[in-house]
A and B are shown apart, each in its own frame.
Chain A
Amino acid sequence: MWLDLASFALTALGLFFFVAGTAGLLRFPDTFSRLHALTKADNLGLGCVALGVALQAGHWTDVLKLVLIWALALLAAGTVAQLVARAALAEPRARKGEGERP
């Protein structure tokens, strides 16, 4: 029962961070702010979700996989945010706010 409650709390927290990251993606004024919002909040949310689900895992290999997935996501997110931001420096549209018609 306590395990279930902890799972509930952690996944709820994870969902909150996902919503927060997405709010940043929608509301922040320029590309670099949006990058910054996304990369941190979502991966924190993913970590909370992974912890919450790990409490329900039946076998230790599943816990290991959850850890590996989160580690991969963190590694990829950090790398990709840095590289995409660098690539965006060359793009004038990234500096100003909403410029292009959809």
Chain B
Amino acid sequence: MTGWLGAWLLLCAAGVLVTLGAALWRVWRGPARADRMMAAQLVGTGGVAVLMLLAPAQGWAALDVALVLAILAALAAVGFVKASTPDGAGDPEEADAPHDPPLDPPLDLATDSARSDRDVA
């Protein structure tokens, strides 16, 4: 690695840090919780990129920190999703998720017409 590349990698890391500053603005601004959480997720991804860019100059052990950051950022996001479900232990993909519109108009399974419709289908 020549000298100019070392300087460039640091400069590039600084550039990624600037985008992280913008992500922090989004955490501040919101407005939805999903915005804040995804912006924090960007701070995680950007942090991983900064660690990669630092690795040639700072020692390759920085990649271990990047690995840990990648796993734990995913855990934090799963924790957020869990905490935002009604009982704190659910999954927003479940059928009874709030505001999840049904794909088909609701069928009245008790009546004969509904049942025959189903049989034909």
Contact = CB atoms under 8 A, between A and B. Distances in A.
A and B touch in the complex (CB under 8 A): yes
B42 A22 contact: yes
Chain B interface SS verdict (over half): helix
B42 A31 contact: no
Determine which residue in A11, A19, A35 has the highest number of CB atoms from chain B within 10 A of its CB, and name it. Answer: A11
Nearest to A7: B5
B100 to A, nearest CB: 7
Contacts of B53: 11, 49, 53
B105 interface: no
Contact of A14 (B33, B39, B49): B49
Given A18-B19, A35-B38, A26 B25 contact: yes
Contact of A79 (B4, B31, B45, B74): B74
Interface residues of B, number: 57
Q: Which of B33, B49, B67, B71 has the most C-beta atoms of chain A within 10 angstroms of its own C-beta? A: B49
A51 to B, nearest CB: 10
A88 B33 contact: yes
Interface of A: 1, 4, 7-8, 11-12, 14-15, 18-19, 21-22, 25-26, 31, 34-35, 38, 42-43, 45-46, 49-50, 53, 56-59, 62, 65-66, 68-69, 72-73, 75-77, 79-91, 93-94, 98-100, 102
5 smallest beta-carbon distances between A and B, as pairs? A76-B74, A86-B92, A88-B34, A100-B31, A94-B32
